[in-house]
Structure 1
């Protein structure tokens, strides 16, 4: 794991897509009063390699996990059960992705959400359907001065540009396009995707850079 900001840590690099060596994934641990939050999932590879539990040991040193928030069901794996058992954390996902999470991970989400709202006092839940039916972004305004936007796989970095991908029943991607337009109106300082094509899954952005990123992602759908 590595520390990105005073209250935010990134888990080790994973390659979760078979046959796609450029696809990268990380989870992010937010250190906060009221309980730490893990965005996305870690340990999905279940490689059995020595040291694969290093992240979980470091997370324990940092105060553990109170809540784990998934951006979409593609992040689900049996490691979700392991994390719940180790830390007693609650697992939350959009209602429309809950059944798929249970199927893929063998564990039932503790909490589900359906609409945009503030969760845990200071984490904004923003449904962004299109990549999956229950894709969700999360916005957090850090007391250390930056605003973090966790976009799941709705919009991801790709080399020097950004991509968006719709996989589930969304012909022509109207839902995903609306979600991108919603995200375009936000003002993050740091955008942290669940994955990327390349090793860099997060980027610092200005307002203009973020709008250009969303425009590039929307153009990638054409």
Structure 2
């Protein structure tokens, strides 16, 4: 794992094999919260478990959508006694891999400062998480709702995607004021991006015009304009 900020780490990248040029990467993040360490998204490398142990273990694991469910999540539960959280609409597919400890269905605030924001569109149960760090930056974890691909912002289309829901989610994103956007999927780009307000609004404008279709591996790395 690599430290990004005083209270935030990123996992070792996991490359998705079906991408021809191996430019599609998945990442997870560890947030050092005053109440305990939180893992967000997916971890794919066993060596990150040792890093987590050195950093104090894991109290909770939050999934941004069900595609992040993996056997290593079970290892997190067993080794660190961590609790797994996901959206209610992700419960079915997640349960085929892991057993969630709790679900959510609406916007909630955990610990009084960690915002759980349902963000349907990429999948019905997609969720974003917003945290205002005591070190001064506001982090927004967007999962695969937004991504960076070859210098462009884009949305990501899956078999379950719903364009109307996604449009509402992007509209809600416009009301947020992140300093750092953290993505669990990217194509040929770092999985985090610092933004000003102007850059953030421009990123949403860009993403409304371009989408990546992960249903077709031959096009999984190519921005496309929505139909």
Q: TM-score, normalized by length of structure 2?
A: 0.89
Q: Aligned residue for 2:119?
A: 128
CA contact (8 A) 1:130 1:167 kept: no
Cα gap change, 1:60/1:23 in structure 2, threshold over 3 Å: closer, same or farther? Answer: same
**Unaligned 5+ runs, structure 1:** 44-51
TM superposition shift of 1:157: 1.2
| Aligned twin of 2:3 | 3
Equivalenced residues, count:
211
Equivalent residue, structure 2, for 1:18:
18
TM-aligned CA deviation for residue 169 of structure 1? 4.5
Aligned counterparts of 1:71 and 1:111: Cα–Cα separation in 2:
14
**What does residue 155 of structure 1 align with?**
146
Which position in structure 1 is the counterpart of 2:37? 36
Match of 2:214 in 1: none
Task: Deviation per CA, 1:117-146: give whole Å up to 9, x if none.
Answer: 201321101111010000000000000000
Q: Structure 2: give runs of 5+ residues left out of the alignment.
A: 212-225
Q: Which secondary structure state, in structure 1, belongs to the residue aligned with residue 36 of structure 2?
A: coil
More off after superposition, 159-168 vs 200-209: 159-168
Q: How much does 1:180 deviate? A: 0.8
Q: Cα gap change, 1:77/1:4 in structure 2, threshold over 3 Å: closer, same or farther?
A: same
Offset, 1:166: 3.1
Q: Counterparts in 2 of 1:155-194, with a 5 A limit? A: 155-170=146-161, 173-194=163-184
Larger relative strand fraction: 2
The answer (yes or no) to whether the contact 2:2–2:10 under 8 Å persists in 1 is: yes
In structure 2, distance between residues paired with 1:87 and 1:18: 31
Alignment of 1:21-170 (within 5 A): 21-43=22-44, 52-103=45-96, 105=97, 107-170=98-161
116 and 197 in structure 1: CA distance in 2 versus 1, 3 angstrom threshold = same
**Cα drift, residue 17 of structure 1:** 4.9
1:42-62 superposed Cα distances (whole Å, 9 cap, x missing partner): 02xxxxxxxx42211111111
Are residues 178 and 64 of structure 1, via their aligned partners in 2, closer, same or farther at CA, if it must alter by over 3 Å?
A: same
- Residue in structure 2 matched with residue 48 of structure 1 by the alignment: none
Query: Which stretch of the first structure deviates more once superposed, 85-94 or 17-26?
Result: 17-26
Q: Distance in 2 between matches of 1:87 and 1:169?
A: 32
Task: Write out the 4+ residue segments of structure 1 that deviate beyond 3 Å after TM superposition.
Answer: 168-171
Q: C-alpha distance in 2, partners of 1:19/1:166?
A: 15
For residue 199 of structure 1, report the CA deviation from its aligned partner.
3.7
